[in-house]
Structure 1
């Protein structure tokens, strides 16, 4: 164990840091895009507070297309756009845009599903009192659905962790890159098993924290 730590410890620590950076930035930007997009989907759908079927149809169609693409295909598909926007297609910077494009629509759909579970009668009651749509979204929709939204964020975060592992195939860095370059190409199974264990632990921690927060919000 000590020999393994001396030989591979710094590499694995660096890879873990890169994974956490990709996940943190990717999730933050995806939240800034995905949650408002999910709210807008609910508002613009037929029967929504600001119903606009044409707009909803376009957004719904676009999200379905993006969600149908496996991450590795999307990664290569938008390489020219990634190069144009961030100036590179490798390393942590080069994979952030594909991670966001992959995660934000998925998160938007999860948020939409959570918001649609809110009792329509409660919304109608607030409407009858003349409450503005903005305040209904803020004080009713988001508040009532916050437990479900947290569960959606947890699912999206776990998917994002998996995507960063796949991004290692194109030199993005992180634990996936270590597992591929050292564990697979250089035939170092102990390195591969170590990275797999770290990814499993990371997912378990995220899931446990997400479940705990969601349960607490459901009770409040």
Structure 2
């Protein structure tokens, strides 16, 4: 019997065991083809994966499907101004001058890339907080350096020699107060009348220059400082039509 390993140009012979000849190659009219010696041409080998006895064999990938990578969006200048001017234009973490917008729930951890999840922050605090939520960052910084060489899980924390449990409970209460402070700033940023005031007056400024650069918004806040301060005192009145 003909084997696929043989050259397609060799003659077609009987199968031997089955006593039946392999199907030779044929031309467009259905007549069998012969080589120069007059022998029938053997059939062409089948291509596995493309055609198997007339059936299409789909090519499958067994690699796990990769999730689509999230992309940061670009903010308009009025949005950056709305966030950076909240909390008196100071960082919510250290009260320095606000230089950037920080995601309370980190974007890399699934946080919303919108004004509802943004607060004003200085660049130093933003870099230190990195991909941590406010509670984790507060506990990490406030509980570090409390032991002076004699600390155990039962005692030695701080000047009062607290146990690790008592220290955590004390810092836990501080974290709850910290969250209330952040919720107040978030409520200021998300105030509807405040957002509409910035939108109506500064929409024409377009988009900021980059995700990490707020130069345009900072300049606009400096130029319109008196106007924004007056509007804040008046409760951000609606625009007159």
TM-score, normalisation: structure 2? 0.25
Which structure has the bigger radius of gyration? 2
Larger proportion of helix: 1
Q: Which has the higher contact order (CA 8 A, sep 6+)?
A: 1
